Structure 1
Amino acid sequence: MITRRDVPVGEYVFHLLEAGNPAMDTVLWLHGSGPGANAETNWSRALADLSRDLHHIAPDMIGFADSTHPDPAPSSASAFAQLRTRTLLGLLDELGLERVHVVGNSMGGIIGLAMALAAPGRIGRLVLMGSGGAPVTPTPDLLKLITYYSKPTVDALADLMRAMIHDPSVLGTDLEKVAETRMERIQRPEVRRSHEATFAVDIPGLYSPEQLATLEHPALVIHGREDRIMPVEAGQYLAQHLPNAQLHTLPNTGHWTQIEQPERFAFLVRSFLAGKL
């Protein structure tokens, strides 16, 4: 069962999904970016599949969906990433969580790595799925995601959703209707403001080999071979430079492994977090 609540952290408020047994170790699930991105669309299937394993929390990061949207927004992408990292560590303090495992998708992987660099003792195991953080050339579809609000239409959103997965039929036969249901959230002015600030001025979270080499956490890197948003070379880079990482490249899979290959994703995450992989 997934529950929802709001948790204040200083001047900010996190909207939080929660599942599993609070008496067990906690897994922090960090969603990716994009117009209208939130924890529920990213993680609801995975949380349902893994709800009997451990304790799970999945916040809308600051500047996304139903959590606080700073006004004014941070002045650069790097500044926004630093704010998200700092407030997530504050969320752990507020919840009384000394140490958590982290699962990060795309931008969520960038922030998860930032948390591990800032407070290595507070992070246990790392799962990076379709993660950013590598110095790779932005793909055309990533650029469409970044610049979505230059033409924020239903058709453009449906095209972006098609780019997220290898087999678009996974999301239904009429992606335009699925996209239309998400437009109300996407059109909120604060959501647009935060999205544009997320990618302003610079590129957040490009980690050097030297930085990654300091992270001795056990790491599972999962990447779809056909990922059109974050190319598979990004996962290969992270797995090469994180000293205790293993790489699982899934064929016929795009950016959203947890949606396109849910059973395999749940098996890999469950096994890894239990120390069996």
Structure 2
Amino acid sequence: MTMPLVTEKKTVFLLEADVYYEYYYSESHKTRPVLVLIHGFISSSYCYRKMLPYLVKKFDCLLIDLPGFGRSGKSKGFRYSFDNYANLVLALTKLLKIREAILIGHSMGGQVSLYTALKDKKLVKAIVLLNSSGYLKKVKRSYYYASYLPFADRFVKWWIEKKDYEMAIRQVVYNQHIVNHDVVLEYSRPLQEKQFFRSMLYLIRDREGDLAKEQLQQITQPCLILWGDEDRIIPLKIGRQLARDIPNNTFYCLKKTGHLTPEERPKQVIKHIFQFLKQHKVVL
């Protein structure tokens, strides 16, 4: 008999920010780690909607909208660094009494996952990187100082809004058929919030850069790296470099796939995740 799935959708105040999360759990999963899904830049937990129905059949799943994105707050009081995003993930898992986690991070969310894994090796049992950011440096000083200029948020708003957002999404996927009205509407939703553009300035100021090679070599948990061979945002060579620098990893290249792997290849991604976790005996 399948135990009923409990769905918890809430906003909590953590580390000076309102944090929206969705937690799906069942008694039948209590012996398994919780999957913690972390989205990428200018995205939200929405990006995992195609994977979620399959994942919740085998695991408890926690989806987080990082501060500055999605339904979470865009407050000035939060520190928008990768280190603090990792602190937030740890604080939320502690609040929800999660003892073991498998982190799944797409794009920027992959870097947040790596920071988190490095901070707490007892909690994080494994990592899955989907077209993860990697080796980016701290923003240039000129951009940093420019973020403090009067009306800087208005400039960011103008710069983003002048772009054709549907065309921008089409440029990050290989399969053009997945781009429809609903996808464009949901991914462009942050542009309707005035505070979103200010949070982008905070991210410019606070982002400290991706983990260096020496730090990546300290990550000992099993790590699955999945990459689209047609990724024009974070090229395949970044994934291959991560595979060289992270000690205990498994790397796969997904053919005819762009940057949005959860959108383009949800079933293939899930298949690789389940095989990986079984291979490393991460789950019972």
Q: Which category describes the TM-score, using the shorter chain as reference length?
A: 0.7 to 0.9
Distance, in Å, in 2 between the alignment partners of 1:114 and 1:151 is: 30
Tell me the equivalent position of 1:47.
Answer: 52
Tell me the equivalent position of 1:17.
Answer: 22
Tell me the equivalent position of 1:93.
Answer: 94
Q: What is the CA distance between 1:197 and its match in structure 2?
A: 2.5
Tell me the equivalent position of 1:192.
Answer: 197
- Residues 229 and 257, structure 2, Cα contact 8 Å, conserved in 1: yes
Q: What is the CA distance between 1:203 and its match in structure 2?
A: 5.6
Q: What is the CA distance between 1:232 and its match in structure 2?
A: 0.7
Deviation per residue, 1:49-106 (Å, 9 max, x gap)? 21111111001012212112222564xxxx5222211111111110111221100000
Distance, in Å, in 2 between the alignment partners of 1:168 and 1:103 is: 25
- Residues 28 and 103, structure 1, Cα contact 8 Å, conserved in 2: yes
- Residues 220 and 247, structure 2, Cα contact 8 Å, conserved in 1: yes
CA distance 1:186–1:119, shift in 2 (3 Å)? same
Deviation per residue, 1:101-123 (Å, 9 max, x gap)? 10000000010001112222221
Deviates more, 1:48-57 or 1:148-157: 148-157
Deviates more, 1:79-88 or 1:226-235: 79-88
Tell me the equivalent position of 1:142.
Answer: none
5+ unaligned residues in a row in structure 2: which ranges? 140-154
Tell me the equivalent position of 1:216.
Answer: 220
Q: What is the CA distance between 1:135 and its match in structure 2?
A: 4.7
- Residues 18 and 56, structure 1, Cα contact 8 Å, conserved in 2: yes
Amino acid at match of 1:59: I
Distance, in Å, in 2 between the alignment partners of 1:183 and 1:224 is: 23
Amino acid at match of 1:222: L
Percent identity over the alignment is 22
What root-mean-square deviation, in Å, do the aligned CA atoms of Structure 1 and Structure 2 show? Answer: 2.6
Distance, in Å, in 2 between the alignment partners of 1:124 and 1:194 is: 31
Aligned residues: 257
- Residues 135 and 234, structure 1, Cα contact 8 Å, conserved in 2: no
Tell me the equivalent position of 1:144.
Answer: none
Tell me the equivalent position of 2:39.
Answer: 31
Tell me the equivalent position of 1:169.
Answer: 177
Distance, in Å, in 2 between the alignment partners of 1:121 and 1:219 is: 15
Q: What is the CA distance between 1:257 and its match in structure 2?
A: 1.2
Q: What is the CA distance between 1:133 and its match in structure 2?
A: 2.0
Tell me the equivalent position of 2:149.
Answer: none
- Residues 148 and 156, structure 1, Cα contact 8 Å, conserved in 2: no
Amino acid at match of 1:251: K
Tell me the equivalent position of 2:128.
Answer: 127
Give the greater-gyration-radius structure (CA): 2
1:166 is paired with a residue whose SS is: coil
Distance, in Å, in 2 between the alignment partners of 1:9 and 1:128 is: 25
- Residues 166 and 254, structure 1, Cα contact 8 Å, conserved in 2: yes
5+ unaligned residues in a row in structure 1: which ranges? 139-146
1:274 is paired with a residue whose SS is: helix
- Residues 222 and 280, structure 2, Cα contact 8 Å, conserved in 1: no
- Residues 117 and 219, structure 2, Cα contact 8 Å, conserved in 1: yes
- Residues 229 and 253, structure 2, Cα contact 8 Å, conserved in 1: yes
- Residues 161 and 191, structure 2, Cα contact 8 Å, conserved in 1: no
Distance, in Å, in 1 between the alignment partners of 2:271 and 2:83 is: 32
CA distance 1:180–1:103, shift in 2 (3 Å)? closer
Tell me the equivalent position of 1:179.
Answer: 184
Tell me the equivalent position of 1:270.
Answer: 274
